[in-house]
């Protein structure tokens, strides 16, 4: 079950060191997301540990990092504010059950329906969100909104910007971190450059007693082992109806983010993860974290990019990250709280640069305008709302554009054959978007007494197409014409109501395809 080395490049050393780097970056994010959700910091840290550990062990994508995320936290805040943290734990358990069900029903395959422009927009939007999230660190501690913009997928409003020496100090340390990450691999790859940068900058700050913000300025991360705890909520229908809407939304957001991150890691590593297995892994992880006092989570694209770029490709990298995080909570909290936030900001800025698809600027001028519009739209919606909403919007718009373009491809060519019959040759797909254009091209009054409609070059795609054929048949019958429908599929013949008796069977030439909606049903 454990695949520690999915490729020859990955080694135990790389996985362990990458896991350490990821764990260091997880601390401030988990704490900040806990604040966003309105819960204690340890609730976010426990979620990062448990979700990260379980998905690393049984998930479908080695090397992908999961934990508490901002997209889920912003949904949780209303629930916690209205009903309390115990209802959050119950919601996370039900969320996990729904995700396991989705995996068991093999719904993960539907992530294939996400078009490439949506994927590009998702990646670019996420890079912008990660960048904006770091800007909150350039504000003054204690000012309104300072924590609101801390390592969170969201806003930086109300940040009182640092000035003078403090700002120059922070910018200098961020620049140093980024320089180490960029240039160190040219000298050696013995250790991940991100980890080396964090260690060097931390030693520099401590050694020179530099006055800059550290992890401890956000909150204390000291705690004990998570303990089993059944959510203290009434076990009745009212409770179920309270948590169900939140659970459905959280499950959907978690799976969308996880499966899209899985696809991105697949592209980078040139390997293939297992979407349905990842759905089950995410579900099991959330059920467990709900019973151990965690806020739930899903895949984290920023940490996944840190891990992959640092050489972590196997399951051991995710397991190491989770165990290091637990060690930080139990015994090393005082040391981790001394890590300067500038080092972590620099790491995330490098992630932003590596995540953003800079080639999309060139692509915008080459792809159809509709695809370019979808790319920009998804990026904007990602920044304005959240990733799940952006992906859903992108898929819907892409589907509508696809339907609109294909609706214009339906054509009907009329001619008279040697027997004096009017023959209509139909070409193009017949579906809900094209039925209006299809029906407009027939004039029963102008046709001869004998009419043939040939569907050899057309495909009936859905129930709307079947209804259009029935409507057309009724028009010709009412006009007193003799109508023949040829080269329709077997499913069409069975499902047609008014025109069924008019279909002529050609065993040799009739198509063997199925009506799409009948197969999916």
| Cα gap 278→261, rounded to integer Å | 11
| Cα gap 213→474, rounded to integer Å | 77
Residue where one domain finishes, among candidates 363, 390, 418: 363
Query: What pLDDT was estimated at residue 350?
Result: 86
Same domain, 166 and 305: yes
Are the beta carbons of 314 and 10 closer than 8 angstroms?
yes
Distances (CA, A) of 476 to 77, 174, 440, 492, 516: 61, 76, 14, 18, 27
Tokens of 377: 């739209």
Query: What pLDDT was estimated at residue 57?
Result: 95
Tokens of 418: 């040697």
Domain assignment of residue 291, yes or no: yes
Name the percent of the chain lying above pLDDT 90.
37
Task: Give the best-scoring range by mean pLDDT among 44-58, 201-215, 371-385.
Answer: 44-58
What would the pLDDT profile of 264-289 be if each residue is shown by its tens digit?
899 888 888 899 999 999 999 999 99
Domain assignment of residue 466, yes or no: yes
Query: What pLDDT was estimated at residue 495?
Result: 65
Q: Assess whether pLDDT exceeds 60 at residue 175.
A: yes
Tally of structural domains, the chain: 2
Closest CA to 291 of 50, 11, 3, 8: 50
Same domain, 359 and 493: no
Closest CA to 79 of 376, 265, 290: 290
Query: What pLDDT was estimated at residue 504?
Result: 52
Same domain, 199 and 290: yes
Query: What pLDDT was estimated at residue 347?
Result: 85
Same domain, 185 and 58: yes
> How many contiguous H segments (helices) and E segments (strands) does the chain have?
20, 7
161 DSSP 8-state letter: B
Residue where one domain finishes, among candidates 302, 335, 363: 363
Same domain, 237 and 309: yes
Q: Could you give phi then psi for residue 312, rounded to 5 degrees?
A: -80, 110
Domain assignment of residue 336, yes or no: yes
Domain assignment of residue 382, yes or no: no
The CATH number assigned to the domain holding 514 equals 3.30.750.24
Domain that holds residue 477: 408-520
| Cα gap 482→472, rounded to integer Å | 12
Domain assignment of residue 384, yes or no: no
Q: Assess whether pLDDT exceeds 50 at residue 501.
A: yes
Same domain, 301 and 443: no
Domain assignment of residue 396, yes or no: no
- Cβ-in-10-Å burial (0-12, 13-18, 19+) of 361 comes to exposed
pLDDT (average), residues 410-430 = 90
Same domain, 355 and 412: no
Question: Would you say the pTM of this structure is higher than 0.85?
Answer: no
Same domain, 418 and 319: no
Q: Could you give phi then psi for residue 290, rounded to 5 degrees?
A: -65, -30
Same domain, 359 and 468: no
Same domain, 285 and 421: no
Distances (CA, A) of 504 to 37, 299, 484: 64, 55, 7
Who wins on pLDDT, 40 or 502?
Answer: 40
Are the beta carbons of 95 and 247 closer than 8 angstroms?
yes
pLDDT (average), residues 450-477 = 86
What would the pLDDT profile of 94-148 be if each residue is shown by its tens digit?
999 999 999 999 988 777 788 889 888 888 887 888 788 778 778 764 443 333 3
Same domain, 243 and 99: yes
Domain assignment of residue 386, yes or no: no
What would the pLDDT profile of 288-313 be if each residue is shown by its tens digit?
999 999 999 999 988 898 899 888 88
Closest CA to 348 of 298, 304, 380, 314: 304
Same domain, 210 and 64: yes
Beta strands in 121-273 (DSSP E): none
Residue where one domain finishes, among candidates 307, 328, 363: 363
Query: What pLDDT was estimated at residue 151?
Result: 39
């Amino acid at each position: 079950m454990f695949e520690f080395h999915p490729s020859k490049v990955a080694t135990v050393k790389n996985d362990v060191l990458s896991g350490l780097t990821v764990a260091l970056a997880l601390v401030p994010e988990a704490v900040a997301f806990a604040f966003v959700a309105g819960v204690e910091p340890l609730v976010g840290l426990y979620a990062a540990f448990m979700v990260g550990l379980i998905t690393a062990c049984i998930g479908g994508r080695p090397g992908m990092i999961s934990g508490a995320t901002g997209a889920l936290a912003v949904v949780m805040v209303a629930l916690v504010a209205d009903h309390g943290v115990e209802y959050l734990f119950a919601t996370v358990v039900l969320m996990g059950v729904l995700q396991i069900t989705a995996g068991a029903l093999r719904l993960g395959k539907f992530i294939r329906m996400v078009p490439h422009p949506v994927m590009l927009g998702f990646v670019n939007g996420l890079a912008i969100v990660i960048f904006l999230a770091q800007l909150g660190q350039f504000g003054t501690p204690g000012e309104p909104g300072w924590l609101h913009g801390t390592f969170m997928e969201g806003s930086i409003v109300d940040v009182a910007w640092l000035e003078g020496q403090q700002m120059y100090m922070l910018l200098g340390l961020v620049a140093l971190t980024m320089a180490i990450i960029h240039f160190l691999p040219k000298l050696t790859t013995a250790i991940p450059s991100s980890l080396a940068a964090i260690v060097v900058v931390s030693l520099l700050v401590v050694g020179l007693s530099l006055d800059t913000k550290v992890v401890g300025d956000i909150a204390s991360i000291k705690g004990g082992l998570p303990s089993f705890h059944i959510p203290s909520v009434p076990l009745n229908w009212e409770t179920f109806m309270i948590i169900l809407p939140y659970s459905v939304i959280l499950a959907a957001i978690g799976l969308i983010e996880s499966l899209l991150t899985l696809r991105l890691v697949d592209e980078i590593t040139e390997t293939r993860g297992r979407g349905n297995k990842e759905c089950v892994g995410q579900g099991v992880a959330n059920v467990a974290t709900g019973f151990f006092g965690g806020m739930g989570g899903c895949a984290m694209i920023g940490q996944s990019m840190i891990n992959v770029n640092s050489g972590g490709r196997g399951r051991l990298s995710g397991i190491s990250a989770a165990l290091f995080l637990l060690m930080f909570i139990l015994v090393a909290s005082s040391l981790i709280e001394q890590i300067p936030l500038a080092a972590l900001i620099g790491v995330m800025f490098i992630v932003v640069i590596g995540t953003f698809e800079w080639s999309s600027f060139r692509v915008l001028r080459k792809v159809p305008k509709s695809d370019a519009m979808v790319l920009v739209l998804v990026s904007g919606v990602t920044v304005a709302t959240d990733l799940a909403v952006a992906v859903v919007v992108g898929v819907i718009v892409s589907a509508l554009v696809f339907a609109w373009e294909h609706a214009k491809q339906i054509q009907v060519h009329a001619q008279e054959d040697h027997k004096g019959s009017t023959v209509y040759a139909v070409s193009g797909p017949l579906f809900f978007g094209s039925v209006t254009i299809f029906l407009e091209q027939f004039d029963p009054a102008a046709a001869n007494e004998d009419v043939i409609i040939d569907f050899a070059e057309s495909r009936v795609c859905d129930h709307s197409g079947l209804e259009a054929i029935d409507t057309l048949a009724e028009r010709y019958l009412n006009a007193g014409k003799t109508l023949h429908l040829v080269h329709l599929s077997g499913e069409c013949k069975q499902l047609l109501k008014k025109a069924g008796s008019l279909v002529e069977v050609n065993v040799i030439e009739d198509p063997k395809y199925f009506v799409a909606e009948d197969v999916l049903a």
